Amino acid sequence: MRRTLLALALATLPGLAAAAALPSAIGAVTVYQDRAVVTRSASTELSAGEHELVLENLPASLQENSLQVSAKSTGQASLLDVKVRDAFNADTVNERVRTLQEQVRKLEGQMAELDDESAVLDNQRELVLMMQRGATEPSKDSARLTLDELKAIQTLSADSLAKTLAGLRQVAARKEALERELSALQSQLNAVQSQMSRRTKTVTLRVNLARAGKVDLALSYAVNGARWTPAYDARLRPAERSVDLGYFGVIRQNTGEDWNNVKLTLSTARPALGGAAPTLQPWIIDVAAPPPPPPRPAAAPAPAIVGEMDMKRSPRSRQAYAESAVAEVAPEPLQVQTAQMQNEATSASFQVKNAATLPSDNTSQRVAIAAAELPATLQYQSTPALREAVFLTAQASNNTEFPFLAGPLNTFLDDAFVASSAMKAVMPGEKVELAMGADDGISIKRQLVNRYTESTGFSGSGKRVTYEYKITVKNNKATKEQVSFKDRLPISRNEKIVVKLLSPADRDIKREEDGKIVWDWELEPGKSRETVLKFSVDYPGDIDVSGI
């Protein structure tokens, strides 16, 4: 009785209020490439005085050192304290699990109905077989059936048996399809349940209000288990000499909480690296200390004295040593920086226009984050020595304010799919080269015209091998086009072997490393052009040369 009166008295004292579980909802999420920052909001009406507000069922992956809380109130609220603790929920079931469980139960009910239908058809089949046996094997007291009666029974039983067997096959096919669907659902349910953690976290807030009013709370915290990667669709518009680039984010999350209708932002920042460059410590070198003397036998008294002296070492010195050792290996605190859309080459953030929903099941979801029209320069490239085909390439400039991160790329020529490849990281102002596939509008042909060997020198002691190729390029298009093609000269690894380019002249080509040469031509519509690649290889006659 006294305890009851005391509790009532404490409850009526001003400035004290029992802790209350406060419902909250996720309003916004910023996804980085290795984590996410979640923002929750909650509102409640409170009387004047001190209150404890509890937010339950927060994900176990919540990083406590990243938690930030802000409070706004019409009653002049002050945030006094924030505490985070682990909680264990025996029956943590989210809406995703409930939906999957309901679908599984529905399919299991349909499977049971099919089992019943199969049992009925099996019974009908047995009845037909019994009727056939009775007609062909009559009892001693029964009269024998006439031939017409046997034929009638045979026809009836055959029709009935055929329908029954067809029904059994249909039931088996439907059951097999349901089993596949049920197996897929069960696997999905198991995956979701295995990713759900029964351990959660609870945040307790202590606030004080000068007067009664509404309190609006906002919590933000970092969680592991979320990431996004870029993906691109590039559509070349040859008529406009431009590339329509679609910038997408492929998001996965298994943080332990579903994101339902949230404001989603994707950031290219890397918070794991921190906000500043690491501090470089001095590199100390010194004369190596001599190795310690070998231990003495255990029977000698000296080691006991030494051990005793060591044990009497100052506790303060031992503590200082321990603290210094810990300080060397202690991890740095997490620093989460939110990137803004700025003219920077380091990071950018993209706010998804529409609200997004991502369950915590680690499935991927692709969202559009940006679109850009990039000016492009078209060029046709070929290596006829390897393949007599011409490939269209588009060099586009990144004229946006944000970088293109490395990621998978699907290329299209107008609306026709060309190929899948990968895009390298491209900073603002840099160029990206897109391979658009072979184009029959430009043809190229390389043929060996002549190859001969002759003797050189006054005494004919030297040898010379001469190669001559003819390369023909034709523009079958109705527009003027740029064509670039490559070939190669042999590379000598011995000073006795001399390679000499005879044709074309150096002014008509560009020389690259490893003997590669490049022609850059501009071809008018319907026109063709030829060139001759001619070179010789000279070497002494008393040596054998490989590769020619």
The more confidently predicted of residues 184 and 153 is 184
Peptide bond into 238 cis (omega under 30): no
* pLDDT attached to residue 286: 74
* pLDDT attached to residue 129: 75
Q: Show the CA angle centred on residue 430, arms to residues 424 and 436, nearest 5°.
A: 55
> Hey, which bits of 255-304 come out as E strands?
259-267
> Mind listing the pLDDT tens digit for each residue in 277-298?
778 888 887 777 788 887 776 5
* pLDDT attached to residue 26: 93
Q: Show the CA angle centred on residue 182, arms to residues 180 and 185, nearest 5°.
A: 110
* pLDDT attached to residue 415: 85
d(CA 117, CA 127): 16
Q: Which two tokens stand for residue 220?
A: 């933000």
* pLDDT attached to residue 93: 57
Q: What percent of the chain has pLDDT over 70?
A: 78
- 3-state percent helix, strand, coil for the chain, nearest multiple of 5: 25, 40, 30
Indicate if the pLDDT at residue 538 is higher than 90. yes
CB 444 within 8 A of CB 266: no
Beta bridge partners, 368, equal: 248
Q: Is the dihedral of CA 365, 370, 373, 377 positive or negative?
A: negative
Give the mean model confidence (pLDDT) for residues 309-319.
Answer: 36
> Mind listing the pLDDT tens digit for each residue in 371-417?
999 999 999 999 999 999 999 999 999 998 888 889 999 999 888 89
Indicate if the pLDDT at residue 189 is higher than 50. yes
d(CA 316, CA 352): 57
Q: Show the CA angle centred on residue 199, arms to residues 194 and 203, nearest 5°.
A: 140
> Mind listing the pLDDT tens digit for each residue in 59-88?
888 998 889 988 888 778 788 888 888 887
d(CA 269, CA 257): 23
> Mind listing the pLDDT tens digit for each residue in 408-447?
999 998 888 988 889 999 998 999 888 888 899 999 999 9
Indicate if the pLDDT at residue 328 is higher than 80. no
- Grouping H, G, I as helix, E, B as strand and the rest as coil, residue 330 is coil
Q: Where in the chain is the domain with CATH 2.60.40?
A: 442-540
If you average pLDDT over every residue of the chain, what do you get? 80
Prediction pTM value: 0.60
d(CA 452, CA 464): 8
Enclosing H/E stretch for 410: strand 407-413
Neighbour-count burial of 15, counting CB atoms closer than 10 A to its CB (0-12 exposed, 13-18 middle, 19+ buried): exposed
Q: What's the topology of domain 442-540?
A: Immunoglobulin-like (2.60.40)
Task: Please tell me the least confidently modeled range out of 20-24, 89-93, 212-216, 402-406.
Answer: 89-93
Q: What's the topology of domain 95-195?
A: Helix Hairpins (1.10.287)
Look at residues 260, 253, 245 and name the one whose alpha carbon lies nearest to residue 196: 253
Indicate if the pLDDT at residue 252 is higher than 70. yes
Sorted by sequence, the CB contacts under 8 Å of residue 27 that are 6+ apart come out as 39, 40, 41, 262, 263
Indicate if the pLDDT at residue 498 is higher than 70. yes
- Work out the pLDDT band at 537, boundaries 50, 70, 90: very high
Indicate if the pLDDT at residue 526 is higher than 80. yes
CB 15 within 8 A of CB 51: no
* pLDDT attached to residue 522: 95
* pLDDT attached to residue 278: 75
Q: Where in the chain is the domain with CATH 1.10.287?
A: 95-195
Give the mean model confidence (pLDDT) for residues 348-376.
Answer: 89
- Work out the pLDDT band at 329, boundaries 50, 70, 90: very low
b (16+ CB within 10 A) / e for 165-187 = eebbeebeebbeebeeebeebee
Place of tokens 């269209």: 392
Amino acid at the residue 118: S
Neighbours of 147 (CB within 10 A): 7
CB 388 within 8 A of CB 447: no
The more confidently predicted of residues 347 and 467 is 467
> Mind listing the pLDDT tens digit for each residue in 50-66?
888 898 888 888 998 88
Amino acid at the residue 537: V
